[in-house]
């Protein structure tokens, strides 16, 4: 790709080139064009191969963490070769380069996890093998179903479904939002959030820009959805206060409550034997109570949990 943009192109969107990432970028392009009355070719999709899509036989936490989803896009964004990077917010590190900013959060899609291979947690057959590489999913599952065994399961949606079909596991988890964006919602059984807490930022697409060199910053910012941003910032504030990493089993649900925002969060030992849960309410954008919740959870937890937080 030339470093000189085509003058007919108004915005260059960088994206991973997995099917789900491309679906998210296409949705973003459609929203941009609809808001501004642009033709589809006014928004160029610029795919990159992310490191996280190349190594699929080990847990993400062992090979570099969430940065493996973002580092190639970060380079292109820093060099001004794209105007915005389209991310699944769940896959973006809590601490980001200072020159980057979340310019827009799209309206949040379904935040729930879905089971593939069973209709419910209780419906999983005794002694089943569960495929997942997410510490949160593994720990939360083992907390509820210690009879099950967890094996590492990585790759895009099609890869994980193929592994399930090949018998490498009996059941796996997929994000409901991802299945919906791929037109495959019928494959999964959504887990209601009163019994199963999702991941921070799940279901949120963010557009990250370098504000000092983005010529279409104002156009991109018009996609920002205030309620989604409030939830996202609060959930990321909890992760930051916990010092969570890719190794940290943490689940969080943030929604509009009776007096502003309501948050419910849980942290676990990796084997699921210990679960520490708490709740708080706070005004949007004011995260002191979120930080206090993080402190409370860690204070109540044993070393089996806390050793996986606060940068441990």
Active site residues: 91
Alpha carbon distance 278, 294 (integer Å): 9
Alpha carbon distance 282, 234 (integer Å): 10
Fill in the DSSP letter of residue 106: P
End-to-end CA distance of the chain: 41
**HSE, side-chain direction, 13 A CA sphere, residue 132:** 26
Alpha carbon distance 174, 182 (integer Å): 12
Nearest CA among 231, 164, 205, 180 for reference residue 21: 205
Nearest CA among 241, 206, 213, 229 for reference residue 99: 213
């Amino acid at each position: 790709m030339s470093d000189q943009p085509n003058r007919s192109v108004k915005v260059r969107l960088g994206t991973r080139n997995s099917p789900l990432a491309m679906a998210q970028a296409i949705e973003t392009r459609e929203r941009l064009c609809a808001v501004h009355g642009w033709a589809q070719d006014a928004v160029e999709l610029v795919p990159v191969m992310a490191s996280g899509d190349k190594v699929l036989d080990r847990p993400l936490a062992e090979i570099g963490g969430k940065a493996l989803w973002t580092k190639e896009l970060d380079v292109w964004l820093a060099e001004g070769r794209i105007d915005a990077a389209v991310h699944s917010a769940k896959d973006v590190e809590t601490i980001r380069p200072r020159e980057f900013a979340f310019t827009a959060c799209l309206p949040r899609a379904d935040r729930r996890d879905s089971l593939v291979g069973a209709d419910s947690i209780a419906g999983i057959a005794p002694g089943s093998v569960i495929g997942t590489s997410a510490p949160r999913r593994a720990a939360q599952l083992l907390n509820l179903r210690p009879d099950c065994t967890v094996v590492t399961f990585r790759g895009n949606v099609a890869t994980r479904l193929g592994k399930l079909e090949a018998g490498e596991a009996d059941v796996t988890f997929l994000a409901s939002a991802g299945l919906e964006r791929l037109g495959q919602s019928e494959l999964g059984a959504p887990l209601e959030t009163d019994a199963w807490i999702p991941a921070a930022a799940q279901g949120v697409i963010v557009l990250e820009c370098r504000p000092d060199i983005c010529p279409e910053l104002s156009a991109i910012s018009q996609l920002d959805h205030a309620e989604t941003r409030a939830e996202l910032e609060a959930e990321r504030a909890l992760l930051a206060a916990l010092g969570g990493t890719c190794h940290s089993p943490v689940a969080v649900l943030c929604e509009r409550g009776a007096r502003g925002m309501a948050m419910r969060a849980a942290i676990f030992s990796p084997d699921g034997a210990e679960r520490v849960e708490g709740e708080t309410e706070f005004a949007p954008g004011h995260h002191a109570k979120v930080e206090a919740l993080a402190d409370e959870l860690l204070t109540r937890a044993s070393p089996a949990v806390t050793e996986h937080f606060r940068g441990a």
